Structure 1
Amino acid sequence: MSKFLLSVHVLAAIVAIGPVTVAASMFPRFVRDGGNPAVGAVLHRICRVYAALGVTVPVFGLATALSMDVLTDAWLLVSMALTAVAAVVLFAAVLPAQRDALDGGGANAARLGMTAGIFNLLWAVVVVLMIVRPGSSTGA
């Protein structure tokens, strides 16, 4: 069962988080270049929809951790905390700034780029922790 849960967790991360990271990274250029509003709307929609789907990632991650009996391992606790921080950055900074830009609020492209970069960096660290798993006895 652990292998199945891990597979679903990894697939959910790829399918749900990947599009958000790409669209969030592309949006600041749209703002900076004064791009087509339709393109900005699509990028924002990708971020919103896939952010909602991204909830499946920690759900299956927790189920996987429970099945593997690693729920109290430090690397996992740090990963969960970073995932929560990434969610806050996305929902409290990236998505509202994108909405503001689409509504003509004059969003700052550099600030949007920075917050998207922080979001992406947090996910990159989580991925590394998931692969390296410091202190793991599996030898990986």
Structure 2
Amino acid sequence: MAHPVMFDEDDPLLARVRALCLGFPGAAERISHGRPNFFTTRTFCYYGGSERIAGEWVAHDHAILVRPDPDDAAALAQDPRFFRPAYLGPSGWLGLDLGRPGADWREVGELVDASYRVTAPARLVRTLPEPGAAS
């Protein structure tokens, strides 16, 4: 049984995430478990997810799920803006809900960039400028 589509194609936050993610070398998009999934050979960003709090499912329909840089993961996990997504959290993924006021798109770009660098093949990562370099 196929998963139902759990996003709105006209979502302006999705449009921004899509443009950001598809700007990376070799990046493509597919629908996985009803949600947009951005990948090269492995996924580097999901749009939308959920978490389990006190036995209840909490949806984050306007969130990004990313694999943070290992050097930053512990600090980000302590930041109350981030959540541990269901199913992916045990593998080191974190979620950031973009539907909350004050989303910092520069930070979003840095998070997606770090996730891409952690998951993409080395040959693609080598084509990127150094993190933090002026573009």
Q: TM-score, normalised by structure 1?
A: 0.27
Q: TM-score, normalised by structure 2?
A: 0.28
Answer 1 or 2: which has greater strand percent.
Answer: 2
Answer 1 or 2: which has greater helix percent.
Answer: 1
Which structure has more RCO (C-alpha within 8 Å, separation ≥ 6)? 1
Q: Specify the structure having the higher radius of gyration (Cα).
A: 1
